[in-house]
Amino acid sequence: MPDNDEPHDDLRRILALRGFPGIDSLGLPEVTLIASNMVERYLPAGTIVVRANTRPSLVHFVLRGRIDSTSVNGVELAFGPRSIFGVLTGLSGELANSDAVAGVDTWTLALTNADIDELLDEHFTLVRGVARTLAAGIVARLTRLPISHLAQNFAPSPAVVPEHELGLAERILVLRSQQIGIGPKRIQALASIAREAEELRLAQGTTVWRHGDAADASLVILDGRLRVERADGQSLTVSPVQLVGGLEALGSASRWYDLVCETDARVLRIERRQILDVLEDHTQVAREMVGGLARTLDRLLDVDIGQADARPSWSSP
């Protein structure tokens, strides 16, 4: 990691970083950590920033100028001032879709992917902040897309759920079948969540939450059917064994749809606190979750919604 000789350099970088979307949601300690490891870069016009099918070695926070690239669906992208280039590929380990070039003389604050890896390994508060920002970004994107894209997160599960109240081993088996951001081989982490989860029975017609409610937990549906209802009239039925509400809970976002029981239902309720406790205790699990969130957001950003600002300024090529 670089050693900065002048304290005022760190302060200048902190002030600059606070103006970047996505970074502004992190706390001051996390922003300070990032700033202390950054270096200033000058990229003359025409500089190749990254080659296609390679992983960028640097994440660039553009101060002046522009980095040009192309999305996976052929949309031309321009990363101008207050844009972050390479962050999602850096976090996910994915390869760049295309060459990226400095379109004009460009100045950036740069952070190496090696430093990002080290910072995330050593500072859980940063992991938590990044996960929250990514999850909130996914929610913001889903609210602008047809509800069918939300349905893609509700893939059918082969798990068979017993009718009786679940024991610990049965809960683990159910959680292994779900995309809760924790891999199926991470048994200790899943067991920690399984022990703390609360099994609930909900009556037909129950409104579990409403649009705008604070999101502090997710639900794994064990039995019955629940209906997602958006304010624009679009709806979706979710059934066993599916996870609902996890993204907005992790992102500390408000609920962006009503959730109503179509039938009597049985669910496992997992509080956000329980997920964060597990991530803090299992560093590699936390890193895997951040990578998965980054890949999900990157995929959603490549979905055409017919608007010029389809990708937020902190996204990757």
Give me the domains of the chain, ranges plus CATH numbers.
Answer: 7-122 (2.60.120.10), 146-281 (2.60.120.10)
At 164 the three-state DSSP class reads: coil
pTM for this predicted structure? 0.85
3-state helix, strand, coil in the chain (%, to 5): 35, 25, 40
Q: Per residue of the chain (317 residues), what is the pLDDT tens digit?
A: 444 445 458 888 999 998 888 787 788 888 999 999 999 999 999 999 999 999 889 999 999 999 999 877 777 889 999 999 999 988 988 888 889 999 999 999 999 999 999 999 888 988 998 999 999 999 998 998 888 877 766 655 666 788 899 999 999 988 887 766 787 778 999 999 999 999 999 999 999 999 999 999 999 999 999 999 999 999 999 988 888 999 999 998 899 999 999 999 999 999 999 999 999 999 889 999 999 999 988 888 877 655 434 455 555 55
The whole-angstrom separation of Cα 79 and Cα 66 is: 5
Q: Which two tokens stand for residue 154?
A: 């509700």
Contact by Cβ (8 Å): 127, 181: no
Helix ranges restricted to H, the chain: 7-17, 28-35, 87-92, 113-122, 124-142, 148-151, 168-176, 187-196, 246-250, 272-281, 283-301
pLDDT at 7 (0 to 100) = 47
The whole-angstrom separation of Cα 55 and Cα 162 is: 45
pLDDT at 157 (0 to 100) = 64
Contact by Cβ (8 Å): 259, 309: no
pLDDT at 153 (0 to 100) = 62
Contact by Cβ (8 Å): 146, 258: no
The whole-angstrom separation of Cα 272 and Cα 32 is: 25
Find all residues with CB under 8 Å of 298, minimum gap 6, and list them.
88, 89, 92, 94, 315, 316
At 169 the three-state DSSP class reads: helix
pLDDT at 45 (0 to 100) = 97
Q: Which two tokens stand for residue 261?
A: 């029981």
**Cis status of the peptide bond prior to 228, with omega within 30 of 0:** no
Find all residues with CB under 8 Å of 188, minimum gap 6, and list them.
282
**Burial (CB count <10 Å: 0-12, 13-18, 19+), residue 185:** exposed
The whole-angstrom separation of Cα 224 and Cα 275 is: 24
pLDDT at 159 (0 to 100) = 67
Return the closest-CA partner of residue 133 out of 247, 303, 273: 247
The whole-angstrom separation of Cα 302 and Cα 145 is: 11
Q: What's the distance, CA 61 to chain centroid?
A: 19
pLDDT at 299 (0 to 100) = 85
